């Protein structure tokens, strides 16, 4: 019997775990003796940051919710570790599977490893090199104690080798987030804003911003938004606002303008309906750069580094940095039809979860 703990906590985790759950359930129906316990740390807890994703992606109710809620990085880490440790002391899995790079990923990996439970990291090995990002610290700490790495790219493999990981613990399997994207694409749902604003394919831009570097300083956020509005040539800019960003927006008195349309965070199927048809996406997210690459949508990333370099070297993504002045030349290139076309990175084919479960079956 293989018994796995699957850890989720924050929005980008849900799309990464959904195909793994689906594959475990499919294999169990075929007779494989495998089961899991789905642990939600509660790092994200609003319906529009968490609950709606479970429904849309067909993820079952978590077996356990640690309900950690909001807090500082240390408060969340401590709350998740103590909650998960208690659970592990009741019952230990054969393997703890963590995904991505959020606080929940790191905290559960540490709690498991200290109780001698082996850890597998889905999306292991990626690095931005930017130690001001909490996610980079989470990646490095998690990978320093991970037993088995499921990687999305050759760059990730090389990062792990450079830090001394032997090849027999690195499994280049592709990208479970893209499994979810490809499985969901036929089911994308038109959001209300489409008809309300009379949007049309290629006639608007999608914007998301939530990184502390971009949003925590109100003056900087305001400058960024003003620049994006000015350079978009009157095209509507649809901005589903992350809760972290919303708090800052309230203080800067910029509650929408002629071209900027604020929205609540959207469900996965609605958000990607908008992305698939957008002229371009402007973002500081990492996951969205992968999704735009696969859907062939031009993407401008407002960061100085990326842990997903293949979205730039192979895909449609370009790093603009965090200086608002970089937006104008990029928008001009986009509007004159000169954005690169891009192609899809190796193994981002929709079958990553199958590969992961095959490998786990051989490991345990």
Residues at the contact surface with ligand UD1, assessed by CB under 6 A: 10-12, 43-46, 49-50, 70, 101-103, 134-135, 210, 242-244
Q: Minimum distance between the CB of residue 285 and ligand UD1, rounded to whole angstroms?
A: 6
Q: Minimum distance between the CB of residue 116 and ligand UD1, rounded to whole angstroms?
A: 25
Sequence-separated (6 or more) residues with CB below 8 Å from residue 362: none
* Helix/strand/coil percent split, the chain, to 5: 50, 15, 35
Catalytic residue among 40, 44, 121, 210: 210
Pairwise CA distance, residues 55 & 50, whole Å: 9
Pairwise CA distance, residues 128 & 43, whole Å: 23
Q: Minimum distance between the CB of residue 110 and ligand UD1, rounded to whole angstroms?
A: 14
What is the crossing angle of helices 176-184 and 268-277, to 10°?
80
Pairwise CA distance, residues 159 & 44, whole Å: 29
Sequence-separated (6 or more) residues with CB below 8 Å from residue 105: 7, 9, 13, 98, 99, 121, 138, 142
Q: Which residues pair with 238 in a beta bridge?
A: 206, 261
Q: Minimum distance between the CB of residue 275 and ligand UD1, rounded to whole angstroms?
A: 16
Q: Which is nearer to ligand UD1, 37 or 244 (CB)?
A: 244
Pairwise CA distance, residues 9 & 69, whole Å: 10
Q: Which is nearer to ligand UD1, 243 or 256 (CB)?
A: 243
Which long-range contacts does 161-164 make (Cβ < 8 Å, 24+ apart)?
A: none
Pairwise CA distance, residues 364 & 357, whole Å: 11
Q: Minimum distance between the CB of residue 261 and ligand UD1, rounded to whole angstroms?
A: 20
Q: Which is nearer to ligand UD1, 12 or 125 (CB)?
A: 12
Q: Which is nearer to ligand UD1, 102 or 199 (CB)?
A: 102
Pairwise CA distance, residues 326 & 330, whole Å: 7
Q: Minimum distance between the CB of residue 70 and ligand UD1, rounded to whole angstroms?
A: 3
Pairwise CA distance, residues 236 & 215, whole Å: 21
Whether 40 is a known active-site residue: answer no
DSSP tag of 169: G
Q: Which is nearer to ligand UD1, 13 or 232 (CB)?
A: 13
Sheet holding 148-151, edge to edge: 64-65, 34-40, 2-8, 95-99, 119-122, 148-151, 170-172
Q: Minimum distance between the CB of residue 44 and ligand UD1, rounded to whole angstroms?
A: 4
Q: Which is nearer to ligand UD1, 44 or 127 (CB)?
A: 44
Q: Which is nearer to ligand UD1, 15 or 96 (CB)?
A: 15
Catalytic positions: 210
């Amino acid at each position: 019997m293989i018994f796995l703990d699957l850890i989720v906590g924050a929005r980008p985790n849900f799309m990464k775990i959904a195909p793994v759950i689906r594959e475990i359930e499919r294999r169990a129906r075929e007779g494989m003796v495998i089961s899991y316990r789905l642990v939600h740390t509660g790092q994200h807890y609003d319906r529009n940051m968490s609950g709606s994703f479970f429904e849309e992606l067909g993820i079952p109710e978590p077996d356990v919710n640690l309900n950690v809620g909001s807090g500082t990085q240390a408060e969340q880490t401590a709350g998740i570790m103590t909650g998960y440790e208690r659970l592990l002391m009741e019952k230990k899995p054969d393997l703890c599977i963590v995904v991505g790079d959020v606080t929940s990923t790191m905290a559960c990996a540490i709690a498991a490893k200290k109780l001698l439970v082996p850890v597998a990291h889905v999306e292991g090995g990626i690095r931005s090199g930017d130690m001001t990002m909490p996610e980079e610290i989470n990646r490095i700490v998690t990978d320093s104690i991970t037993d088995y790495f499921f990687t999305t790219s050759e760059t990730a493999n090389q990062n792990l080798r450079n830090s001394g990981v032997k090849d027999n613990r690195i499994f280049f399997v592709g990208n479970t987030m893209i499994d979810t994207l490809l499985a969901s694409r036929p089911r994308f749902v038109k959001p209300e804003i489409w008809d309300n604003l009379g949007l049309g394919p290629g006639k608007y831009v999608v914007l998301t911003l939530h990184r502390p570097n971009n949003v925590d300083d109100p003056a900087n956020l305001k400058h960024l938004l003003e620049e994006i509005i000015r350079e978009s040539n009157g095209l509507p800019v649809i901005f589903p606002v992350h809760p972290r960003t919303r708090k800052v927006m309230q203080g800067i008195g910029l509650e929408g303008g002629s071209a900027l349309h604020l929205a609540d965070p959207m469900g996965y199927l609605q958000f990607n309906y908008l992305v698939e048809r957008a002229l371009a996406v402007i973002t500081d997210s990492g996951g969205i750069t992968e999704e735009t690459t696969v859907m062939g949508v031009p993407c401008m990333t407002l960061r100085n580094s990326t842990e997903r370099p293949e979205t730039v070297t192979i895909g449609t993504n370009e790093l603009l940095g965090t200086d608002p002045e970089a937006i104008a030349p990029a928008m001009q290139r986009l509007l004159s039809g000169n954005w690169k076309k891009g192609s899809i990175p190796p193994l981002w084919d929709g079958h990553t979860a199958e590969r992961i479960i095959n490998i786990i079956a051989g490991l345990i």
